[in-house]
């Protein structure tokens, strides 16, 4: 794999993770204690980033560094899909409990 392909993968994944967490470039920059210009340049493949900056980004995003280098639309998209399924299941379970509790209260009256 060429350096340019790795850089493009980093750029795409950084942007995808940032947006999934509903962060602007500026907000991520603040969380990572780097400039928003650095975020912009990484996402536009204008600059390669240092190990220190990568560490700051992964810490700010609370992700493993490997996430930034995964093939596009692989494990990351599956994880998001799994997370959405889990959230829906939790909502359904909470609604079921609420309905059951409400019905018991009505029957007790």
Q: pTM for the full model?
A: 0.65
User: What pLDDT shows up at residue 84?
Assistant: 65
Residues of the chain with pLDDT under 50: none
How many angstroms separate the CA atoms of 109 and 107, rounded? 6
Tens of pLDDT, residues 65-91: 888 887 765 555 566 666 667 777 777
How many angstroms separate the CA atoms of 32 and 79, rounded? 23
């Amino acid at each position: 794999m060429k350096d340019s392909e790795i850089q493009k993968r980093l750029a795409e994944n950084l942007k995808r993770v940032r947006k999934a967490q509903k962060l602007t470039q500026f907000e991520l920059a603040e969380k990572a204690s780097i400039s928003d210009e650095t975020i912009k340049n990484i996402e536009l493949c204008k600059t390669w980033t240092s190990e220190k900056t990568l560490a700051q980004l992964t810490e700010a995003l609370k992700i493993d560094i490997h996430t930034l280098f995964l093939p596009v639309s692989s494990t990351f998209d599956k994880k998001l899909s799994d997370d959405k399924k889990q959230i829906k299941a939790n909502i359904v379970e909470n609604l079921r409990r609420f309905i059951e509790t409400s019905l018991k209260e009505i029957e007790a009256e």
